[in-house]
A and B are shown apart, each in its own frame.
Chain A
Amino acid sequence: MKRIGIDVGGTNTDAAMVDGDTIVATVKVPTSEDVMSGVRTALDAVSDARGPGNGPIDAVMIGTTHFTNAIVERARLERIAVIRIALPSGRSLPPLIDWPDDLRRCVDPMMFMVHGGHEYDGRALVEMRDDEVRDAARAIRDAGITAIAISALFSPLTSQCERRAADLVREILPNARITLSHTLGRIGLLERENVAALNATLQELGRRTVKAFDDALATAGIDAPFFLTQNDGTVALASIAAENPVHCFASGPTNSMRGAAFLTGENDAMVVDVGGTTSDIGCLSGGFPREANNIVHVGGVRTLFRMPDLLPIALGGGTIVDAKTGAIGPRSVGYRITQDSLVFGGETLTTSDIGVAAGLVEMGDHDRVKGLDPAFVSQTLTRLREMVADGFDRMKISAESIPLIAVGGGAFLVSDTVAGASKVIRTENAGTANALGAAMAQVSGEVDQVFSRMSRENAIAEAESAARTNAVAAGAREETLSTLEIEDIPIAYLRDNARRVRVRVIGDIDFGGAG
């Protein structure tokens, strides 16, 4: 089983080829301004390493920052419509109420609030008004919008209204691309609706990106199923993933963490992934990134959905160091590191130059940093290592010592001893852990619902069974499924033993019996 994993970051594009559990080749190339030529270069490099007579590639897994960047830059976004089925609930708080003004202007949403939705216990809030949905659909059609987000009250418990509304909209707008909030988010209407709207505005970019990757694969002569990596460290078929770009928001750091687990065999450890612009610190639990269970802001928008619990710090291999004050960051030369940093002939002092001067790594021309004051180099190094150590301590889950795995292109910046770490682990392919993590990804299924009128055991069993069904639908082989996480919180005030249960299961990709 040969797989290629590719991770497109802001600074570097990494690729790795894996045969079974064996790493065949890894490569790191700068991310090009047009993104795709860098991907093609990386693909060519790993494909060449495959050697002759070694059979075809079985799958390609790609992780990309395209979608996050579009939201953050307020660019390449498509005009959307949002239909909320919840009236009379929320009448005073229309959709996207708390979005940053510049993002709202860019997305320029049409918004509709209609009657319907459910209560927490499954009763209808009020009867859904089909005529109101049809009126909205006609207005959306007349405005020439086809990307639509639909949310309904308590849809994670009862998705009926959202699905009915989608059918009604499609009768009027057959080519509508519709995001239903219950497929993405959890209880918390405003945040779930935000996720659905972000997803809707990325539809066109999702389609274009997958097409571009497809073309790049064809150019490289690869004819294999192609997956996009997701926030939870798993993959989904690209054609399906393109419909849910929000699930790719944090795939980069997630891939690195999964790669770190794969490379070291450590399934319970902390990971620091030092990229070009930032480092992400996260926690591996059972080989997967610990999931955030709280609000995560994406481009200034409050969201609540499947995202890894990460602490980003403004420290990477391209982070600019002030030559006078020694101040570190937060700005970075990013993908221009191979032109702008001192060792590569540029004029900007970066953390990588500090690393070369300190003898931690060899890159570029060492002579170009010989003139740096050794005391300045050592002080700067101490301070940037303190930044890592502090972040590590903040993300630790217990006072006990735990291994720290350092990955990413700037992993050389991490010290060999970090307070609170039982050991600091580096591996040969630490620089391309993200691509390896992508190559080794599996498929997951999740359920997050309120259950009532049943015992805790039955509620968990029901959630687990639904999560398994979801995983199989997403492409997992049923016999490989195992439960990764179970969390349940009793709900105060409500009768009927109501509790919120979240279960996540994971399994291997189903290649149609080929495995």
Chain B
Amino acid sequence: MSETKRTTFDRSDLRVLTREDLDALEIGAGILGTGGGGNPYQGKLLALQAMNDGYELSILAPDRIAQEAVCMPVGGIGAPVVGVERIREGREGLRCLRAMEELLRAPIDAVVCEEIGGANSMSPLVAAGLAGLPVLDCDGMGRAFPEMQMTTFSIYGHSSTPSVMCDLHGNVVTFTHAASEVWHERMARACVVAQGGGAMLAAAPMSARFLCRYAVPDSYTRAIALGEAVMTARRRQEDPIAALCAHQTGRQVFTGKITDLRRHLRAGFAVGELTLTGFGNHHGESAEVKIQNENLVFAREGIVEVSVPDLIVILDIDSGHAITTEMLRYGQRVSVVALPAPQLLRSEEALAVVGPSAFGYPDIAYVPLEPAA
């Protein structure tokens, strides 16, 4: 389709990513993953490989592309523990894109990220890079969430079907229509099990106009800057956690050691509770973090202080690296940092999908985290 490619943006508005940007994005996306979203490491290797093969990976602000431009979200779906073994073939995302173009009989102009937190920060870059398209600098979560309907796209009325799922074998599955976003999630989940536990999914494209209004803005620049802040602080032997708080109007809510960790399964999800015993400024205090794929609720001495959709990040106290929920273990010395959720996740309709009650905590009333001064 390259010969029919339309002029929808000015190349001078593109930010072409470097290898260093990808290193920073790996760290920043890990932080925004709030404990979930999968490890971006493998995605970074795929992105680096695409770069080495001569493809240009670039990002573009959604207000710098024609407002009618056709923008297609793409991301990985599956179990992270399967993903570390069953590594991508590499062109699944590109095949999704081509299949979607065929389905719509129209070219895709840009690629969109569903979830900037974790591994799905990288997948759109690879798909778009191989197709010679930019990725728009925005996303549907501003963090990581476990299910597809938990995007601002879905919350604000975009139907994610028709969608296309491609696996590493070359299978292409099209969902023509789902009765609801939850139905789509349910069917896609069943499909990914049949496909071996991992696949790429491209959701129905949307206009840049829609994204300017309903996507979390600046996701890539934010994640890269976050990673850079941590890397710079480490290089200067400064406190990386203070650097990231300063950068993101976040606050360090707790510093302590993991003294208990209980894991169990609930309705197919890995859930758990983490007990922290404070030290330093928090000596003598205890705190708890509730987990379901991501870190969901932070409570101090039994009183809830931060809850989903605000971001709760657990970081290694020395390296400033975010620790994913499956890597948490007894004895780690961690800092808990809370970052305010994007405004789009705090509306009444958003909280119905991504607020505490949506994760099985009906008794917790969401109180928006105030940005740190």
User: Which residues does A use to contact B, with CB under 8 Å?
Assistant: 86, 88-93, 97-98, 119-120, 123, 125-126, 153-154, 187-191, 283, 293-294, 393-399, 450, 489-495, 500
Contacts and interface: CB of A to CB of B under 8 A. Distances in A.
B15 interface: no
Nearest to B292: A492
Contact of B193 (A90, A93, A397, A494): A494
B290 interface: no
Contacts of B304: none
A394 B333 contact: yes
A282 to B, nearest CB: 12
Nearest to B278: A399
Interface string B265-297: 100111000000101000000000000010000
A99 to B, nearest CB: 12
21 contacts: A88-B89, A89-B89, A90-B87, A90-B88, A91-B90, A93-B49, A97-B49, A120-B82, A120-B197, A125-B196, A153-B86, A187-B85, A397-B331, A399-B277, A489-B326, A490-B263, A491-B270, A492-B79, A492-B81, A492-B146, A493-B189
Contact of B197 (A189, A293, A494): A494
B81 A93 contact: no
A399 B193 CA distance: 42
B187 interface: no
Given A88-B169, A91-B90, A493-B197, A187 B331 contact: no
A491 B193 CA distance: 12
A91 B170 CA distance: 13
Contact size range, B: 35 or more
B45 A98 contact: yes
A506 B238 CA distance: 44
B327 to A, nearest CB: 6
Given A294-B327, A491-B79, A491-B81, A89 B88 contact: yes
B290 to A, nearest CB: 15
Given A450-B81, A490-B263, A493-B193, 5 more contacts: A86-B87, A89-B86, A120-B82, A153-B86, A154-B85
A187 B80 CA distance: 11
A490 B90 contact: no
B330 interface: yes
Interface in B321-335: 326-327, 329-331, 333
Nearest to B264: A490
Contacts of B192: 493
A90 B82 contact: no
Contacts of B189: 493
Contacts of B81: 187, 450, 489, 491-492, 500
A108 B87 CA distance: 24
Interface of B: 42, 45-46, 49-50, 78-79, 81-82, 84-91, 146, 168-170, 189, 192-193, 196-197, 257, 259, 263-265, 268-270, 277, 279, 293, 318, 326-327, 329-331, 333
A92 B89 contact: yes
Contacts of B293: 492
A89 B168 contact: yes
Nearest to A395: B331
A395 B317 CA distance: 13
Contacts of A489: 81, 263, 270, 326
A126 to B, nearest CB: 7
Nearest to B130: A92
A119 B78 CA distance: 13
Contacts of A98: 45
Contacts of B170: 88
A402 B135 CA distance: 52
A395 B193 CA distance: 39
Contact of A93 (B45, B78, B268, B327): B45
A25 to B, nearest CB: 37
B131 to A, nearest CB: 15
B87 A93 contact: yes
Contacts of A189: 84-87
A490 B268 CA distance: 9
A495 B189 CA distance: 10
**Which of A93, A283, A492 lies at the interface centre, i.e. has the most chain B CB atoms within 10 A of its CB?**
A492
A311 to B, nearest CB: 10
B6 to A, nearest CB: 28
